[in-house]
A and B are shown apart, each in its own frame.
Chain A
Amino acid sequence: MSVASVSLLGPDLVTRTLTAALDGLSIRQNVIANNIANVDTPDFRATSVDFESSLAAALADGDPEDTVISSTPTQTPVGANGNNVDQRKETMAAMQTVYQYQVLTRATSDRFDLLKTASADF
């Protein structure tokens, strides 16, 4: 019965995938915070985090831990003082990241709850 398929050797594949994604979102939140903090810093160039594509690939090989969380410069236009932080874009990205994080923590909790339900009154 797959709902109880937790190996005693460690967390199952789905939980490991969720954990890898949560790691990625955490880094993303920090990078967005840094971009927003430097919205007025001259010559500052914004960066953005990508991990979803790496996670999908790593998952296909059965190793979500191999996910690479990369931070690359954004393509936003540079302003007069050399700064290219798009505050609106960063604010939207921040909100979305928080939301995605909550979806995944909910998913993680749900899986633990299933195990608790299945193992209660045994």
Chain B
Amino acid sequence: MGAFDAFEIANTSLGMHQTWLDTLADNIANINTIKPTTQKAFQGQMIIAQARPGGGVEVAGVAVTDPEGRVISDPDSPLADADGNVRAPDLDMSSQMTQLIMAQRGYQASVQVTKDAQDTYTSALQIGKA
């Protein structure tokens, strides 16, 4: 019911931040995934967040990083081409880590919103009770 909007709003945020954390974890796990230059690089995912009309936030879509990736020189790699190059993902570790912290913080903030909503609704239910 509309009486518990705060819960619903916080819930959308928990969902979106969880998805964000999952994609970041996947990106970080694959930050060193090398592909030969004949193939696409590993493509990291980036969620696109937008405000939800009924309140809260939702994942509008997922963008992927450049399939060209970063061409780096690694002649000793078994996947290296004639020039000794391989494709690395177009992902920056420090950026991914920063986002990880932001996603965690955003998640926790909405957890607190849920607790606050609980306090409010409980307090309303106590009116008139001895």
Contact = CB atoms under 8 A, between A and B. Distances in A.
Do chains A and B directly touch (beta carbons under 8 Å) in the complex? Answer: yes
A44 B13 CA distance: 14
Contacts of A34: 9, 51, 55-56
Interface residues of B, number: 34
A109 B56 contact: no
Contacts of B116: 29, 94-95, 97-98
Give the dominant DSSP class at A's interface: helix
Interface of B: 5-6, 9-10, 12-13, 16-17, 20, 49-51, 55-57, 102-103, 105-106, 109-110, 112-113, 116-117, 119-120, 123-124, 126-130
Given A38-B56, A94-B116, 18 more contacts: A22-B124, A33-B9, A34-B51, A36-B10, A36-B110, A36-B113, A37-B12, A37-B13, A37-B110, A40-B103, A41-B51, A94-B112, A94-B113, A97-B116, A101-B124, A102-B119, A109-B126, A109-B127
26 contacts: A22-B124, A25-B120, A29-B6, A30-B9, A33-B9, A33-B56, A33-B110, A36-B10, A37-B9, A37-B10, A37-B16, A38-B13, A41-B57, A91-B109, A95-B116, A97-B116, A97-B120, A98-B116, A98-B119, A102-B119, A109-B126, A109-B127, A109-B128, A109-B129, A112-B127, A113-B130
Interface of A: 22, 25-26, 29-30, 32-34, 36-42, 44, 87, 90-91, 94-95, 97-98, 101-102, 105, 108-109, 112-113
